[in-house]
Amino acid sequence: EAGVAQSPRYKIIEKRQSVAFWCNPISGHATLYWYQQILGQGPKLLIQFQNNGVVDDSQLPKDRFSAERLKGVDSTLKIQPAKLEDSAVYLCASSPLHSKWGTEAFFGQGTRLTVV
Amino acid sequence: ILNVEQSPQSLHVQEGDSTNFTCSFPSSNFYALHWYRWETAKSPEALFVMTLNGDEKKKGRISATLNTKEGYSYLYIKGSQPEDSATYLCARRDNYGQNFVFGPGTRLSVLP
């Protein structure tokens, strides 16, 4: 089966500019995650969707970050305006609905964002 | 947010050496522990999912153990090869949700 698709792979923008990332999860996966991975740290959850509803966005900086998952399939993550500290790899992942035995998440290759 | 820790942060080993890493996590409300391998410019790849205390999983030269009572998991690599070079991430899931809380990873470099 096709994996999680993300685009673009790389993006360089100036601070205060806007940027958007796109994710197409594995077909049929109800849960979609956006993670931010800053160099030297583990991935940190930004937002979690189940179908088109938000399950957890407690760590999303809502003054500048927004995300949507229209129709419960593709998702976009937007940063407006970007700051230098937003430089990171943005990972999208998807998984089937919660199962008792620890369903794994499947990750895309990520988008590496550099803010200069 | 409950912290997941990993050690060491990085290590370099010679080809053929065996090595192991540690993942420690809060044991309360534990649901599952995941190990991922993340090679540069690729997607993180799932290695193991473990849920029960005492679980042991093996895939080729890589194996993992789980102790949910004391809150740790070990990942072992036997006879390291250069292609094992990657960052190894562990992630904990709790009973309340589906979120994965990741550790900072262990970056392994296997020198030929």
Provide the pLDDT for residue A2. Answer: 77
What are the two backbone dihedrals, phi and then psi, of residue B84, each rounded to the nearest 5 degrees? -80, -10
Burial B59-79 (b: 16+ CB within 10 A, else e): eeebbbbbebeebbbebebee
Candidate from A52-56, A100-104, B49-53 with smallest mean pLDDT: A100-104
- B107 interaction partners in chain A (CB closer than 8 Å): none
Q: Residue B91 forms beta bridges with which residues?
A: B34, B102
Put simply, the answer to whether A110 touches B43 (Cβ < 8 Å) is: yes
Q: Is A91 on the interface with B (CB under 8 A)?
A: yes
- In angstroms, what CA-CA distances link B95 with A33, A98, B27, B28, B108? 18, 11, 11, 9, 31
Partner B contacted by A43 (CB < 8 A): yes
Confidence of residue A99 (pLDDT cuts 50, 70, 90): low
Contacts of A45 in chain B (CB under 8 A): 99-101
- β-pairing verdict for A75-79 and A88-95: unpaired
What confidence score (pLDDT) does residue B69 get? 94
Residues in chain B with CB shorter than 8 Å from the CB of A103 are 49
Mutation choice for B interface testing from A35, A89, A104 by most B CBs within 10 A: A104
- Contact call for B98 and A3, based on CB within 8 A: no
The pLDDT of A82-92, averaged and rounded, is: 97
Rounded to a whole number of angstroms, the distance from the CA of A40 to the nearest CA of chain B is 7
Whether omega before B82 lies within 30 degrees of 0, making that bond cis, reads no
Whether residue A31 lies within 8 A of chain B, CB to CB, comes out as: yes
| pLDDT (0 to 100) of residue B95 | 74
Token pair of B45, please? 């790849």
Of the candidates B67, B70, B65, the residue with the CA atom closest to the CA atom of residue B35: B65
